[in-house]
Amino acid sequence: MSRVEVDEKIRRFTVMCRKTGLRLTPQRIEIYKHLVKTDEHPSAEILYEKVKKTFPNISFDTVNRTLLTLNEIGAAFIVEGSGDVRRFDGSMEKHQHFKCVKCKRIIDFHHKPFDIIKLPASIGKKFKILKKVVYVEGICDLCK
């Protein structure tokens, strides 16, 4: 992803923050920057290591808390999965996830029909739906 694209994402991020009353701290911006720059769906730990290069004193808790906050305001997402360490995704594009059960790699793919899956009316009426995704698990090409 180009420098310009990242800058544009950060600009949009600042707008989102202002809209939701979230303060724009340099730490937050840095965490967000690293999150959107990668497509590796990092854990809090991984991002902590990256952000530490710019903010050597940052605490793990700040990184983790920030990521949870980003998830709250919809600027990032907790990746669905089957009982492993929590992984995050900064991409706003419509896409789906494939997760390798061996190497834990999460790979994006996009299949348009999955963007618009329709739930039965009974579910939508009973519950407030926040997220509906198609999630695929298996063995990736490298592990096969």
Partner DNA sequence: TGACACATAGGAATTACTACTATATAGTAA
Partner DNA sequence: TTACTATATAGTAGTAATTCCTATGTGTCA
Q: Write out the residues near DNA by the rule CB under 7 A.
A: 17-18, 22-28, 43-45, 55, 57-62, 64-66, 68-69, 83, 85-86
Choose which of 62, 114, 115, 116 interacts with a second copy (CB under 8 A).
114
| Closer CB to a second copy, 60 or 114, in the complex | 114
Binding-site partner at residue 135 among DNA, a second copy, none, CB < 5 to 8 Å by type? a second copy
HEC per residue, 8-61: HHHHHHHHHHHHHCCCCCHHHHHHHHHHHHCCCCCEHHHHHHHHHCCCCCCCHH
| Closer CB to DNA, 3 or 23, in the complex | 23
Q: How far is CA 51 from CA 27, 31, 108, in A?
A: 8, 6, 24
Choose which of 80, 92, 95, 104 interacts with a second copy (CB under 8 A).
80
CB 42 to a second copy: min, Å: 13
Binding-site partner at residue 62 among DNA, a second copy, none, CB < 5 to 8 Å by type? DNA
Dist CA 24 CA 15 (whole Å): 10
Residue of 65, 63, 69 whose CA lies nearest to 50: 63
Three-class SS state of 142 = coil
Three-class SS state of 100 = strand
Regarding 65 and contact with a second copy (CB under 8 A), the answer is no
Residue of 2, 130, 3 whose CA lies nearest to 72: 130
Residues making contact with a second copy (CB under 8 A): 78-83, 85-87, 98, 100-101, 107, 109, 111, 114, 117, 119-120, 122-123, 126-141, 144
